[in-house]
Amino acid sequence: MTEAEVRQSYFEWLCDKVRANSEEDSYYILMKDLHNRQFIPIIDNDANRAYDGMELRERFVATELQYEDAWKMDMAAECTVLELLVALAMEMDYQLCTDDHDYAYKYFWEMLSNLGLSRFKDSTYAERRPSSMFQIDAILDDFLIRDYEPDGTGNIFPLKYPTEDQRGVELWYQMQAYLGENYPM
């Protein structure tokens, strides 16, 4: 495999983890946008979530690549938004594990819905290409710089009953509060 083929294979692996390309709907363009955006943590300890996203590369190398192709994977690149969201979805699935099924895709799409991105199917995106690109960029900008409501509206983890301004809370604790509100045990 070439380096480009390894990158493409990794991208497709991430998409498969969250079922981004089903028979009914394809979100390939949106996934590319998410994978082309870096996640740069601006709150202390959100770097840990970036490392979780980057750790997916290690899983991919260990499970999907032949030994001779492993070195072609860029392990040092910054975490992408797609990697961050996939890693968070997998963590949510782990914490809520109710059975042996993998529900990471469900939590991934829940986060995208919370952001307002789940409406950007490939067919819709292509019809309104320039408009869609600007809308997605604006949504991602707001998410990344934490320009959303204090209760988390406009974020991946909106809360009904926040105890503090979510714009200053690290993603891990936002996720915990969100899971507590939406998936009480």
Q: Which helix (H) or strand (E) holds 177?
A: helix 171-182
Residue 126 backbone class (left: φ over 0; alpha: ψ -120 to 50; beta: rest): alpha
Which pLDDT does position 56 carry in this prediction?
96
Residues 37-51: tens digit of each pLDDT: 999 999 989 999 999
pLDDT interval class at 23 (50, 70, 90) = low
Which pLDDT does position 145 carry in this prediction?
97
DSSP string, 92-148: HHHHH--SSS--HHHHHHHHHHHHT-TT--HHHHHHTHHHHHHHHHHHHHHHHTT-S
Residue 112 has pLDDT above 90, yes or no: yes
Mean pLDDT (the chain) is 92
What's the predicted TM-score (pTM) here? 0.94
Residue 181 has pLDDT above 90, yes or no: yes
Percent of the chain, pLDDT > 90? Answer: 72
Q: Which of 50-59, 69-78, 137-146, 173-182 has the lowest mean pLDDT?
A: 69-78
Residues 115-132: tens digit of each pLDDT: 999 999 998 877 777 888
Which range marks the domain in which residue 175 is found? 3-182
- How many domains in the chain? 1
